[in-house]
Amino acid sequence: MTWSNHPQQPPAQWGQPPVQAPKAQPGWARKRIVVPSAFGLFFFGVVIGAAGGGNTENVGSEKPVPAVTKTVTARPKGPVADTADDKPAKKKETKPAAEKPKAMPSFVGMGLQSAQDAAQEAGFYSLTSHDSSGRDRMQAFDRNWKVCSQNYKAGTTIPLDTELDFGAVKLEESCPATDQKTPARAGSTMPNFAGKSVKAARGALDSGTSITVTDAGADDRMVLLESNWKVCTQSPGPGVALKGQPVKFTAVKYEESCP
């Protein structure tokens, strides 16, 4: 009899496939597999979670911390004398050069604007003018006026800051024989305004004085531009004490004669 290590297969029954005997497994496959316990799996999971549970988004993204450089200033071994001068520098005071007086040029017969320009070129800078007819008209457009007189004769040596006053009339008018300045301010008595312009008479009186002006002619015209009208009569009369009383004038135009 021959012994065999293979188990005997039972005889196949009719209609059923023969039962195959299990194949022999190799030696390494027949070793026992040890399954870890539940505690071991829990401990293993905790270790893995601790190792990989950190914040991985900032890994490698942090900027390096710059190195801090400390500057050390060397100090002198001993005290250093302060040689700086804290006092402000003294400025040399220079006195303006004295303006030398000059001889007064002749401006009579010149247009008022040309006379003023020439005076400024000569060094005179304080200039004024007035109506030489005594009518107290304003020299609004200097080119429309001509010089009839000057307050310093030609050739007179005067300082450059001296005020020059030119008497002038309009270009179409004749210069008067003598310069007629506006009347001085009235004091305590009434001045004589006969022949003076109504404007000049009004300017000589106190600004609070009540003044009435009527046409001395028969036409009873309104006196509008008072520098074109001259006084014929006045009330109160010349020399009367002024005590705030109203003043009345009659007047005609300059080219007319008083009645």
Q: What is the mean pLDDT of residues 53-59?
A: 47
pTM: 0.58
User: Greater confidence, 64 or 112?
Assistant: 112
Question: Alpha-carbon distance 149 to 134, whole Å?
Answer: 13
**Which residue carries 């302060």 as its tokens?**
82
Mean pLDDT (the chain, rounded): 79
The pLDDT value given to residue 91: 58
Q: Which residue would you say has higher pLDDT here, 8 or 192?
A: 192
Taking only the tens place, the pLDDT of each residue in 70-88 is: 555 556 565 555 555 555 5
Confidence label for 182 from pLDDT (cuts 50, 70 and 90): confident
Task: Give the confidence band of 166 by pLDDT, cuts at 50, 70, 90.
Answer: very high
Q: Please give the C-alpha separations between residue 14 and each of 7, 19, 20, 21, 124, in angstroms, as whole numbers.
A: 21, 12, 16, 18, 157
- Domains delineated in the chain: 103-170 (3.30.10.20), 198-253 (no CATH)
- What pLDDT does 194 receive? 96
pLDDT grade for 187, boundaries at 50, 70 and 90:
very high
C-alpha 199/C-alpha 183 separation (Å) is 10
The span from the first CA to the last CA of the chain, in angstroms, equals 193
| pLDDT tens-digit readout, 216-229 | 999 999 999 999 99
pLDDT on residue 162: 95
> Using a CB cutoff of 8 Å and minimum separation of 24, what contacts does 60-64 make?
none
pLDDT, tens only, 235-258: 999 999 999 999 999 999 999 999
The CA distance from 212 to 234, in Å, is: 10
pLDDT in tens, 123-150: 999 999 999 999 999 998 999 999 999 9
Distance between CA atoms of residues 183 and 258, nearest Å:
20
Q: Which pLDDT score, from 0 to 100, does residue 99 have?
A: 76
pLDDT at res. 28 = 46
Amino acid at 171: L
CA 38 to CA 185: how far, in whole Å?
A: 130
Task: Indicate if the pLDDT at residue 213 is higher than 70.
Answer: yes
What's residue 250's pLDDT?
98
- Kind plus residue range of the DSSP H or E element containing 49: helix 38-52
